[in-house]
Structure 1
Amino acid sequence: MTQSTPTQSADNATTQPQARLMIGTELAAEMVTKAAVRAEALRERTGVQPCLATVLVGDDPASATYVRMKQNRSKKAGIGSRSVVLPAETTTEELVAELTKLSEDPEVHGILLQHPVPAQIDERAAFEAIAPAKDVDGVTMHAFAAMAFGEPGFRSCTPGGILRLLEAYEVPLSGAHAVVIGRSPILGKPAGMLLLASNATVTYTHSRTKDLADIVRQADIVVAAVGKANFVRGSWLKPGAVVVDAGYNEGNVGDVHFEEATEVASLITPVPGGVGPMTIALLLEQTVDAAEAQTAAGTASV
């Protein structure tokens, strides 16, 4: 990627230009197009159409909208979709039973449980009911172990999408100091594992971290995943840092104060249009991966 150069202001003072944007939209579209080609090839060769089952518990408008968006993108990629909508009062046992049924259904190749789930549900127990071969969202402990140990398996979609975006923009990871803000099991933790696997030096930070701004200021790469609007300020950043905003808050606002950060960072993801499209694209790509693997395994066992 080309490097930015200083610009001259009216008074001839040298100033740093705003950060370049890491746009996920075009790269995600390329990934979906390639997934569609593979899905069609699989259908023509075997008669099998990749199928993604989405499971939504309750009637949260934002979650329902997100599920519909994923289903629409699935159709564009030649992936069939099956929608399971359960009432808000669903118990852990009922949800586990539904996910187990989908895991055992040979016509379903990938399973997405929309999260967060209602408070009465043990989310981890629900995730673990998804068969690892169909965990195309990368939410099970099996998937996390695979990411941590560098073994084959599905990546958590948002962290995996982040890595693909960093690679596309040729961000050097080996030897870089990456600070991950947030430690959720499906975003912060796996993001750190994937960065570590790329030979970055990784620091995890969270709600109990002392002197957070000072730690972030040491980072070559910042991954913000805290779910708080405008949480990371421009003054926290080292000049030239690469900033990945994995947050999405009300009003299309990320976890990073965008206007401040663009004055300091060299690269930054916008919200929306940065990480979000990559998440869905990787989900669809991994659904096709799962369909190919399950079809091949079924053929081998005949």
Structure 2
Amino acid sequence: MSAQILDGKATAAAIKSELTERVQALKARGVAPGLGTLLVGDDPGSKWYVAGKHRDCAQVGIGSIQRELPDTATQEEIEAVVRELNDDPACTGYIVQLPLPKGIDTNRVLELMDPAKDADGLHPTNLGRLVLGVAAPLPCTPNGIVELLRRHGVAINGAHVVVVGRGITVGRSIGLLLTRKSENATVTLCHTGTRDLSAQLRQADIIVAAAGVPHIVKPEDVKPGAAVLDVGVSRDEHGKIVGDVHPGVAEVAAWLSPNPGGVGPMTRALLLQNVVETAERAAPRA
């Protein structure tokens, strides 16, 4: 048996097509969504990531607001740009590209953001609202994972999901989405310190691997017919980028999200969705 692919590229393209229509509807009502980015320094990876965000915006008709500062920028200068984006009506959502330079209090910068404009969905206020079940921007990667499963017809309701990884971007936040009544899954959160991780994994209907440990999920750890999503990124002993899931899992699982090409495109699409939904919430009622 060879697993069917959870195709993040095709699914993200479908979401972008839907967002294009929603953006057109907003513009017809006089509302123009805009994504802001704050980039501090000239790290090549960060510049590539931010440029990709603005290419995505162009594809769906979202405006781009780009703010760049040198790596010598002070805490006060960075915070001034955050306040500017908070107050800019053309910016309906934005991200502060991380990491920020050494010496900058990152948490202070992020907490200064307007939670309503938090395109990543990871502001402390928005995570709290997620716990409370209050409408707010959702964490992009966990939301992208849920949407990827749903659009491929993978059963989430009643499923046992094992998450490997305890980072805030995926591990700690995805359980908040999956245990909502609309998803109704049972979630076990594991990590590199979990005793007998293999035993936990073998019980899973769905595995979300986000530990950043090469091939931490092996074929013998996977229940036949499970869905496996590879979210982790790390390098092996040869410096090659690899995921958390061993290639042999494809012969055991029923569904597999590749890495790259699985969850990554979904994260980008759901960030755009956050920007559009923020604009929709703020738009005057017809």
TM-score scaled to structure 1, two decimals? 0.86
Alignment-derived partner of residue 289 in structure 1: 277
Tell me the distance in 2 between the aligned counterparts of 1:38 and 1:289: 9
Alignment-derived partner of residue 199 in structure 1: 184
Residue 252 to residue 39, structure 1, CA distance change in 2 (3 Å)? farther
Using the TM superposition, give the Cα deviation of residue 143 of structure 1 relative to its aligned residue in structure 2, in angstroms. Answer: 1.6
Deviations 1:230-249 (A, max 9, x none): 33222222222211111234
Residue 256 to residue 106, structure 1, CA distance change in 2 (3 Å)? same
Paired residues of 1:181 and 1:224 also in contact (CA < 8 A)? yes
Alignment-derived partner of residue 27 in structure 1: 11
Using the TM superposition, give the Cα deviation of residue 262 of structure 1 relative to its aligned residue in structure 2, in angstroms. Answer: 0.6
Using the TM superposition, give the Cα deviation of residue 32 of structure 1 relative to its aligned residue in structure 2, in angstroms. Answer: 0.8
Using the TM superposition, give the Cα deviation of residue 92 of structure 1 relative to its aligned residue in structure 2, in angstroms. Answer: 4.3
Residue 125 to residue 194, structure 1, CA distance change in 2 (3 Å)? same
Structure 2 unaligned blocks of 5 or more: none
Residue 213 to residue 29, structure 1, CA distance change in 2 (3 Å)? same
Q: Pick from 112, 125, 134: which aligns with 1:151?
A: 134
What secondary structure, in the 3-state scheme, does the structure 2 residue paired with 1:56 have? strand
Using the TM superposition, give the Cα deviation of residue 278 of structure 1 relative to its aligned residue in structure 2, in angstroms. Answer: 0.8
Amino acid at match of 2:198: A
Deviations 1:251-284 (A, max 9, x none): 5532212x21112211110112111111111111
Paired residues of 1:252 and 1:272 also in contact (CA < 8 A)? no
Aligned Cα root-mean-square deviation (Å): 2.0
Structure label with greater radius of gyration: 1
Deviations 1:8-57 (A, max 9, x none): xxxxxxxxx111110011221111112112212222321x3211001122
Paired residues of 1:135 and 1:154 also in contact (CA < 8 A)? yes
Alignment-derived partner of residue 242 in structure 2: 253
Tell me the distance in 2 between the aligned counterparts of 1:119 and 1:152: 34
Using the TM superposition, give the Cα deviation of residue 208 of structure 1 relative to its aligned residue in structure 2, in angstroms. Answer: 2.5
Amino acid at match of 1:129: L
Q: Pick from 23, 45, 49: which aligns with 1:62?
A: 45
Tell me the distance in 2 between the aligned counterparts of 1:119 and 1:196: 37
Alignment-derived partner of residue 102 in structure 1: 85
Q: 1:1-302, aligned counterparts within 5 Å?
A: 17-46=1-30, 48-197=31-180, 198-249=183-234, 251=240, 253-257=242-246, 259-296=247-284
Paired residues of 1:100 and 1:129 also in contact (CA < 8 A)? yes
Structure 1 unaligned blocks of 5 or more: 1-16
Paired residues of 1:178 and 1:220 also in contact (CA < 8 A)? yes
Aligned pairs, number: 280
What secondary structure, in the 3-state scheme, does the structure 2 residue paired with 1:83 have? strand
Amino acid at match of 2:211: V
Tell me the distance in 2 between the aligned counterparts of 1:187 and 1:242: 17
Using the TM superposition, give the Cα deviation of residue 207 of structure 1 relative to its aligned residue in structure 2, in angstroms. Answer: 3.1
Paired residues of 1:252 and 1:271 also in contact (CA < 8 A)? no
Tell me the distance in 1 between the aligned counterparts of 2:74 and 2:26: 37
Tell me the distance in 1 between the aligned counterparts of 2:101 and 2:224: 41
Tell me the distance in 1 between the aligned counterparts of 2:25 and 2:221: 48
Aligned-residue identity in percent = 42
Deviations 1:50-103 (A, max 9, x none): 110011222221221111111101011101111122233444444333212211
Paired residues of 1:127 and 1:139 also in contact (CA < 8 A)? no
Alignment-derived partner of residue 12 in structure 1: none
What secondary structure, in the 3-state scheme, does the structure 1 residue paired with 2:284 have? helix
